[in-house]
Structure 1
C-alpha cells in the first residue's frame, strides 16, 4: 500500500493536470470525481485481496489514507452539485447563492458533526481509542450511530473512517465557498509556486492554528495589519491543508486545561534542545 504522502502527491498531480486542461469547474469536479472513484475502488480491491500485516497498519489506513481519498471524493461531488445548480455567474444572486450554501454547510456541521464525542476525539489528535474506531468489525451499536452504519461495507469500512472523510470534505468545501464569496481576498493567495509543492504540514491542524494565532497576535506579519483569515489562507496555501473554522478551534484552545499553548511550548523546548546539540 502506498504511503499517505505518495498517494496525496499523485492526487495533487492529477488535480493540477485536470485544472490546466479545463477552466470549467463543473467539468473539473466531474473528472476528479471519476478519478477518485477509480482510486478508491482500486484500493478496495487491494485491501480485500491482501489484507493488513498488522493491526497498526489497518488503523493507519482507515484513519488517514482512506478518509483522504473518500473526503476529496465527497468534496468534488459536492462542488459538482453546487456549480451545476448555480443560477448565475456573477452579481447579487450569485453571492446570495453561495452564502446560502455556506449557511447550509455550517448548519450541517452544527447538527451532525461538531457535537459528537468522536469529532472532539479526532480534532484533538487523540489516538487512545483508535483500535475501537479504526479496526473493522468493532462497531458499537450502543453508541446510537447514524443509520448510515447499515450501509457501510464491513470489509472496507469501520464506519468512523467515513466520519473522518466527512470532516475532511467539509473543511475543503468551507474553503471553496469562502473563496467564492470573497474572491478578491483570496485570489492572489491561491497562486501556488512550484517550490512549495513538496512542503507539507505533518503535525496536527490545531498545532498549525496555534502557530497562526501566535504570529498574528505578536504582530510580526505585516506589522499586524493583515487579518487572521488572510494569514490563515497563506498557511493553508503553503501547506495545502484546509483548516476549516479556525475561530472555533481557537476558542476551544482557550478552554484547554493546563497549558493553552502546548505547541508553542513544544517549539521552544525543541529549539533550545537543538541549540544545545550544536554546542
Structure 2
C-alpha cells in the first residue's frame, strides 16, 4: 500500500480524537499517542525497507513530509509525557513557574540549534532546490559540520534532515502546549478546575442533550474548521455552562444505539426554532 501524507494525517487525527474522547489526563493521552506513533513509525519503516521508492520524487516527499510528520508528533507527545509526569504540583505559583521554565528552555534550544541554521532558513522559505540533497538517502555531507546526532541515526531510514524537520514540527507543537499551560484563560480545563467561569450561565437541559449538541458541532467542523478535538470542545462547553460532564465517549455510543431518534435533542431544537420563526410571521 502506498504511503501518502493524507493517509498518515488521517490516521493520526483519528487516533488523537479517539484518545481525546476518553477524557484521560494529559499525561495518559500523551503516553497513548507515543505508543501509537512509535508503532506507526516502525510499520512505515518496515514498509519502506521492503519496497523502497519508485522514484526520486517519492523518496523526497517521504523524508521531507511524511516521516517528519510521524516523528515530529512522536517527539512532541513523548516530551509532553515527560513534562507532565515530572511536574511537582498541580496548580499554584510553582506550577506556572515550572511550565514557564520549560518554555524558556524550549526557546533557548530553538535559538541555539535551530533557527540560525542554513537548513532552517531553507525549510522556512519553502525552497525545493536542494531537496535532492537534504531528503535523499546517502547524501549526507559530513563537511557541513552536522550535529553529532547524525552518527546515531539509521542511514537506511534517515537522511538526517528529516529528523531536523521533525524537531521543528515538535517544537512548534510544544510551544503552543506550553503557552496554554502558562495562560489559563486559553486553557478551558484550567478555568474549569479553578471555578472562575461565569456563574450566571447554566445548562438547564440534560447532560445527554449537551453531549449531543457538542458532538453535532464537532462532526460538522463548525469550530476552528474542525481542528479542535472533541475533548477540548467538551471542556469549553463545561466551562461556559458550569456543567461537568461524565464519560462523553460512552454517552455518545449509547446515543448511537438508542431506540427512536438518535438525535432527539437536535430534532427538538429544529422544531423549537421553526415554531419560534412562525411566531414572527
Same fold (TM over 0.5): yes
Aligned to 1:194: 219
Aligned to 2:20: 19
| Kept after mapping to 1: 8 A contact 2:103/2:178 | yes
**Which whole-Å deviations, capped at 9, do the CAs of 1:92-134 have from their partners, x for residues lacking one?**
1111000000000000000110000000000111010000000
- Tell me, which stretches of 5 or more residues in structure 1 are unaligned? 198-233, 242-279
1:186 Cα offset (Å):
4.9
Tell me how far apart the structure 1 counterparts of residues 9 and 225 of structure 2 sit (CA, whole Å).
15
1:238 Cα offset (Å):
3.7
Tell me how far apart the structure 1 counterparts of residues 15 and 111 of structure 2 sit (CA, whole Å).
33
| Kept after mapping to 1: 8 A contact 2:27/2:80 | yes
Aligned to 2:48: 47
Equivalent residue of 2:9, what SS? helix
Q: Which has the larger radius of gyration?
A: 2
1:87 Cα offset (Å):
0.8
TM-score, length basis structure 2: 0.68
Tell me how far apart the structure 1 counterparts of residues 52 and 154 of structure 2 sit (CA, whole Å).
15
Tell me how far apart the structure 1 counterparts of residues 170 and 22 of structure 2 sit (CA, whole Å).
24
Equivalent residue of 1:193, what SS? helix
CA RMSD of aligned residues (A): 1.9
Equivalent residue of 1:156, what SS? coil
> Is 1:137 aligned to 2:138, yes or no?
yes
Q: Which has the higher contact order (CA 8 A, sep 6+)?
A: 2
Residue correspondence of structure 1 range 213-232 to structure 2 within 5 A: none
User: Structure 1 124/142 Cα, relative in aligned 2: closer, same or farther at 3 Å?
Assistant: same
Residue correspondence of structure 1 range 1-279 to structure 2 within 5 A: 1-187=2-188, 193-196=218-221, 237-238=224-225, 240=227
TM-score, length basis structure 1: 0.69
**Which whole-Å deviations, capped at 9, do the CAs of 1:178-198 have from their partners, x for residues lacking one?**
01111213539xx9833339x
1:12 Cα offset (Å):
0.7
- Tell me, which stretches of 5 or more residues in structure 2 are unaligned? 190-213, 229-281
Tell me how far apart the structure 1 counterparts of residues 132 and 27 of structure 2 sit (CA, whole Å).
39
Tell me how far apart the structure 2 counterparts of residues 125 and 239 of structure 1 sit (CA, whole Å).
26
